[in-house]
Structure 1
Amino acid sequence: MNNKEIAEKILELIGGTKNVQSVTHCATRLRISTNDKDKIDMKGVEAIDKVKGSFFNSGQYQVILGTGLVNKVYDEFVRLIDKPSNQVMDSSNEDQKMTFQKAIRIFGDVFVPIIPVLVATGLFMGLRGLLTQEAVLGLIGLTPEAIPQQFLMFTQILTDTAFAFLPALVAWSTFRIFGGTPVLGIVLGLMLVSSVIPNAYEVGQQTAEPLIFFGFIKVVGYQGSVLPAFVTGILGSKIEIFLRKKIPDSLDLILTPFLTLLIGLILALFIIGPIFHEVELGVLHAVEFLLNLPFGIGGLIYGSFGQLLGIFGIHHILNFLEISMLGQDGWNYLNPIGTCGNIAQAGAVLAVAIKSTSPKMKQIAFPSAFSAALGITEPAVFGVTLRLVKPFLMAMIGGGVGGFLASIFNLRATGMALTGIPGTLLYLNEQLPLYILVNIVAFAVSFGLTWTFGYKKEQEL
């Protein structure tokens, strides 16, 4: 059977066009929302050539086709039902209720096409940080000053590009998922990291100041941010869909993109952005307070919940706190606690990777676990643990236990920006055994809890 015949047969066996609410796909599966699931002939669908199985999840009927094939069958399926492509949810369907599980699924769907880039970039960043450290270079008789600037610039392109423009990737994928025009999402996302706007990391380090509009609105860039770009993408796509319904066809090409980008940027810079900037300042003061709590309580809390900061895109502000610590007494007390959270993510994802029977799950989870061990957790979080929810909770517990021990042992780094395995280079003193110990504990707790309670073999991406 060719791709069109497969799509036609699937459509026939699920009850025809009238039974289809919406359709989308992930890396391996065709995801169909239907009006009446009783009309679906599951055995018939699973008997179709090249179909590897099917099941229901979160209100969707999901047909497993495999990488590559699913994209081609999806394209043929969309033509048959004559519905907007890449539509996850039909907002006109009043009976469709948004639950926490569905919200997490949609959030995860946004990151499916981004994960390979994040994995590759994470590995580049971890290896670059490891190989450019003075201790490592000293093994071959070199110093950091001996590395050619051209080589450093080349590696910086590899390590910085994806994360610098992450909001553009997120906005593009969000527009695609919510039925907007993806290229508008890319442009809107690029506007959020324009060089005209002060860089978020530089503002976090207090080497740059936010732009002040109307005397009180503080505007900064979204470099490395996730949730603000996601919210902007949702609003932007909804605005575009609304405008296309209202604007006459003769003016659609001119007015719809113009108004979508204009309104989307205004909302992002003057409403969403300032709100998150104030949240960042609140997080900074809260973390400072936590680090001063006795009996390791602060390490327990930050080790557990600090992993949420990357999801919300408000982790930049902690750069300032680390710089302040290093400037005061030459020690960074935040790094060892945060490292435990990263290593805990690696433990949870590795448990999923080993326990899973899904080839696609293993394909994503194994490299994501290694990336997290090098200090880059985005692929692990957005590709595996957050999508499955329970492994993320297990990682929070593991990170909390490790952070508690790091605080009790009064661990402190000699620098910043390195965590996980490369972060070992910040503890090349009497602290090294303790640094290794707390991370082994965080990893083991997270791995053990995920293996025992946090993941079932039948779960798939």
Structure 2
Amino acid sequence: MSVDKKTVEQIIKGVGGKENIAAATHCVTRLRFALKDESKVDKEALENIDLVKGSFSANGQFQVVIGQGTVDKVYKEMVEMTGIGESSKQEIKDEAAKKLNPLQRAIKTLADIFIPILPAIVTAGLLMGINNVLTGPGIFFEESVVQRFPQWADFASIINLIANTAFVFLPGLIGWSALNRFGGSPLLGIVLGLMLVHPDLLNAWGYGAAEEIPTWNLFGLDVQKVGYQGQVLPILIASWVLASIEKWLRNRIPDAFQLLLVAPIALLVTGFVSFIAIGPVTFAIGNVITSAVVGIFEVAPIIGGIIYGGLYAPLVITGMHHTFLAVDLQLIGSTGGTFLWPMVALSNIAQGTAALAMMFVLKDEKLRSLSGTSAVSAYLGITEPAMFGVNLRYRFAFISAIIGSALAGAVISMAGVKAPSIGVGGLPGFLSIFPENWGSFFTGMAIVLVVPFVLTILFGKMRKTK
């Protein structure tokens, strides 16, 4: 498919002209701009362009949804026409970060750390789902599949090993990504993370049941030999300390001695600080956070489900949803499952259902087509086309999706639905839910398939009568 130069010119004009573009890049589906003045953007003109499926601003970037494949051609044409030069995603992020307040920068930092490791976590969740299907009783037979067919037991065991690897060595993944974000050596981040889950340490999952906690004696100071399996805060803080020490040393040690001194000193100092102070303090903080979140949902699961289920989609608009990745992983590491992620999967479906309903509300053929394709995308866990291309454009559709998601969140929270991992979103999401919770999850799924559809149709008809 060729790209019309006039269309690209319209996009450039819509974002305020080439003089308003500080930098630009693209991802799989979107053009990403760091603009000098976002008030110059003409969103109405942009979204009337046939190629444009939606636009939004997030984390200091103005993003224009184009579509997979086509966005590459549009970007190349735009570079030729504006002469801005091709920018990396990091350059765009750095440019956009200048406009963020401290809270937005903190959220962006968490997103930059957790998004790169998300594919490994999602893959682990999907594989855990497959293992749960094989080992969970009452799904196909009264007993589990592996009990009915013992020859499948080792097959399931290997799947479980592969699935659990990302969580057993989660600090290693976070350490790699965090050091990369903080400007240190990612390889040292991996070593630091693996050090915190070394087999010589008492496994964190056995900490509560241990009769005696082993300790080191450092010149009269007793330091617990405890690992931090499944913990998020210890490796995050330790990674920042390691990166800070490493950068400080590199600026002061001559190049000829850096290989010999920088990494050993930085890792040694960070290791001692981690086991003596960072680990115990952040472990306690993590447990407090976990207890607080769990406590809210234990005391008032309906309210918790309504709030999180309803607010997740608006949080996506602001980018704040990324902060809950850390909470999900903390819950999984501390309690063995998360009750937040199942609501995310249902929120995806709700947005898809609202977009699907818009096919029956709208008369414009382009928008109807966009509604249908974006609904399919949302049902598979990618909600951006549905949210930004359709539902937010017609607010009643977005509100309908939020209402359905909130109701479903209340239902599955009351039922205690949990997932052993962050998994695949949308309709395939049930694979990442504990099998014993499938019935309640499917009830929630029915709600987000029916309620947003009916409400969107009703609101759409009321809107026509005005």
TM-score of the superposed pair, with normalisation by structure 1:
0.58
Amino acid at match of 2:284: E
Contact 1:119 1:368 in 2 (8 A): no
1:83-107, Cα deviation, whole Å (9 max, x unpaired): 99679548997x864233x432332
Where does residue 121 of structure 1 map in the other structure?
124
Residues 124-273 of structure 1: matches in 2 within 5 Å? 124-135=127-138, 136=140, 138=142, 143=147, 146-147=150-151, 150-204=154-208, 206=210, 209=213, 211=215, 217-218=223-224, 220-273=226-279
Which runs of 5 or more structure 1 residues have no equivalent in the other structure?
1-9, 43-49, 320-334, 370-390, 427-434, 454-461
Contact 1:219 1:270 in 2 (8 A): no
Which runs of 5 or more structure 2 residues have no equivalent in the other structure?
1-11, 44-50, 80-84, 310-323, 356-369, 383-400, 422-428, 457-466
- How far residue 173 of structure 1 moved from its aligned partner, in angstroms, is 1.8
1:217-245, Cα deviation, whole Å (9 max, x unpaired): 54532322334333333343333333322
1:191-240, Cα deviation, whole Å (9 max, x unpaired): 22222222222225548846466656545323223343333333433333
Aligned partner of 2:443 among 440, 443, 448: 440
**Closer, same or farther: CA 392–159 of 1 in aligned 2, 3 Å:** farther
Which secondary structure state, in structure 2, belongs to the residue aligned with residue 313 of structure 1?
A: helix
Contact 1:180 1:240 in 2 (8 A): yes
Where does residue 6 of structure 2 map in the other structure?
none
- How far residue 162 of structure 1 moved from its aligned partner, in angstroms, is 1.1
Q: Does the alignment pair 1:107 with 2:106? A: no
Q: Give the distance between the partners of 2:145 and 2:103, measured in 1 at CA.
A: 58
**Closer, same or farther: CA 236–397 of 1 in aligned 2, 3 Å:** farther
- How far residue 38 of structure 1 moved from its aligned partner, in angstroms, is 9.8
Where does residue 403 of structure 1 map in the other structure?
413
Where does residue 313 of structure 1 map in the other structure?
330
Amino acid at match of 2:112: D
Amino acid at match of 2:58: N
Amino acid at match of 2:347: A
- How far residue 128 of structure 1 moved from its aligned partner, in angstroms, is 0.7
Q: Give the distance between the partners of 1:182 and 1:30, measured in 2 at CA.
A: 28
- How far residue 275 of structure 1 moved from its aligned partner, in angstroms, is 1.8
Identity %: 27
Where does residue 387 of structure 2 map in the other structure?
none
- How far residue 186 of structure 1 moved from its aligned partner, in angstroms, is 2.0
Where does residue 348 of structure 1 map in the other structure?
347
Q: Does the alignment pair 1:275 with 2:281? A: yes
Q: Give the distance between the partners of 2:294 and 2:54, measured in 1 at CA.
A: 51
Contact 2:290 2:331 in 1 (8 A): no
TM-score of the superposed pair, with normalisation by structure 2:
0.57
Select the structure that is richer in helix.
2
Where does residue 360 of structure 2 map in the other structure?
none
Contact 2:169 2:197 in 1 (8 A): yes
- How far residue 149 of structure 1 moved from its aligned partner, in angstroms, is 5.7
How many residue pairs align between the two structures?
386
Contact 1:402 1:438 in 2 (8 A): yes
Which secondary structure state, in structure 2, belongs to the residue aligned with residue 143 of structure 1?
A: helix
